[in-house]
Amino acid sequence: MNPVIELDQLRIEFGKRRILHDITGTLRGRCIGLLGPNGAGKTTLIHTLLGFHPPTSGTARIFGRDIRTEAKAVRTLIGYMPERDSFIANLTCVHFVRLMAELSGLPPEAALERAHEALFYVGLGEARYRKLGTYSLGMKQLAKLAQAIVHGPRLIFLDEPTNGLDPPARKRMLELIREIRDSGDAHIVLSSHLLRDVEECCDEILILKDGHIAANCDLEAERRANRKFIELETRNATPAFTSAIGSLGCDYAMTGEQRMKLVLQEGLEVRDLYQLAAANNVQIRRLNFKRDSLEDIFLKAME
């Protein structure tokens, strides 16, 4: 897959404070999760990619276009849903979204049509003629999403899209994000503190820590790799059983008297473990495919 975002020695300084330290990396995911503790530089990175802050040195490219030299061309390709409430006063939602579409270059008629479509798509169709000031927090989040997608961007930055949403609204928002991702027409960069949201939507993550890249991994590949890790809880396990597992060529470690973790070697199946247990008169009481959760990956990156 072609790179979506390429970071090339990107450095951002505000005065004497360095926020991003010469970060380099390539992001290709359909939905890219941007994670990191507060102050890690996530928002600064998004703002830089949007062209709000000029890089101190280095650069970044979005779909191969340089954010320094082709800022306007880059911004035609992207949509942005900010974290904080961002509106234009005294406008109905449909006028607001239409205005945003027109500013993105759509002719007035097309902008109006797309505004209606976007509002129906996010679920605000019935409320589109209400003024934004009368909207609930959940509706405002959806209106922000509508303005971010109205012009059909190829890359959408979503900054904390589920902030302050109740569970049904959060579920709806995540569904929309997944739908957009699965449509194949747009890539998404999702910045969130909620690891579960990122885990549910993203196929690639970039973890920032103190302005450095702490981890950049393909979640799908990680998930596939993790299928080989197994957690085993047994009864009547004997040293003969554990050594038999070792003789199969599996790396293992005892995590308790009757518990062990092992890495299943290529060519071996779970069935082989059961056969081994039966041969050694050992009961397998529990068998889990241990999978590094995003939390594990995040905590590992923070070490």
Partner 1 sequence: MAVYEHHYKPYEGQLTPTWSRFLVLPRYAYQDLLKYKFFIGFLVACYICPLIYTVLIYLHHNASALQLMDLNPRDLVPINGMFFSIFTGIQTTLAFIFTVVIGPVLISRDLANNALPLYLCRPFSRLEYIIGKMSVLLILLSLITWVPGLLLFFFQSFLEGGSWLVDNWWIGRAIFLICVAWIITLAMLAMAFSAWIKWRTAASAALFAIFIIPTPIGFAIQGILGTTKGHLLNLSVALSVLNIDLFRLDPDDKLFSTGEAWIVFFGYAALCLFMLSRKVRAYEVVS
List % helix, strand, coil for the chain (3-state, nearest 5): 40, 30, 30
Q: Is 155 in the site for partner 1 (CB under 8 A)?
A: no
Nearest residue to 245 (alpha-carbon basis) of 226, 266, 272? 272
DSSP strand pairing (212-218 vs 187-191): unpaired
- Return the residue of 9, 26, 39, 73 that touches partner 1, per CB under 8 A: 73
Q: Is 129 in the site for partner 1 (CB under 8 A)?
A: no
Q: Which is nearer to partner 1, 135 or 298 (CB)?
A: 135
User: Minimum distance between the CB of residue 215 and partner 1, rounded to whole angstroms?
Assistant: 27
- Return the residue of 105, 164, 246, 249 that touches partner 1, per CB under 8 A: 105
- Return the residue of 26, 57, 69, 120 that touches partner 1, per CB under 8 A: 120
User: Minimum distance between the CB of residue 17 and partner 1, rounded to whole angstroms?
Assistant: 7
- Return the residue of 4, 5, 124, 186 that touches partner 1, per CB under 8 A: 186
Q: Quick one: which H or E segment has residue 179?
A: helix 167-183
User: Minimum distance between the CB of residue 89 and partner 1, rounded to whole angstroms?
Assistant: 4
Query: What mask of x and - would describe binding to partner 1 in positions 133 to 152, judged by CB under 8 A?
Result: --------------x-x-xx
Nearest residue to 80 (alpha-carbon basis) of 150, 21, 1, 171? 150
Tell me the C-alpha distance between 205 and 2, whole Å: 16
- Return the residue of 9, 24, 26, 90 that touches partner 1, per CB under 8 A: 90
What is the separation, in whole angstroms, between the first and last Cα of the chain? 31
Say how many residues touch partner 1, by CB under 8 A.
54
Nearest residue to 180 (alpha-carbon basis) of 118, 222, 128? 118
- Among the candidate windows 2-10, 15-23, 195-203, 269-277, which touches partner 1 by CB under 8 A? 15-23
Query: What mask of x and - would describe binding to partner 1 in positions 23 to 62, judged by CB under 8 A?
Result: ------------------------x--xxxx---------
Residue 68 is encoded by which pair of tokens?
């320094």
Number of DSSP helices (H) and strands (E) in the chain, helices first: 11, 14
CB contact burial 27-56 (16+ within 10 A = b; e otherwise): bebbbbbbbbeeebbbbbbbbbbbeebebe
Rg (CA), the chain: 24
Interacting residue ranges for partner 1, rule: CB under 8 A: 14-17, 47, 50-53, 72-73, 75-76, 78-80, 82, 84-91, 95, 99-100, 102-107, 110, 113-114, 116-117, 120-121, 125, 147, 149, 151-154, 157, 179-180, 183, 185-186
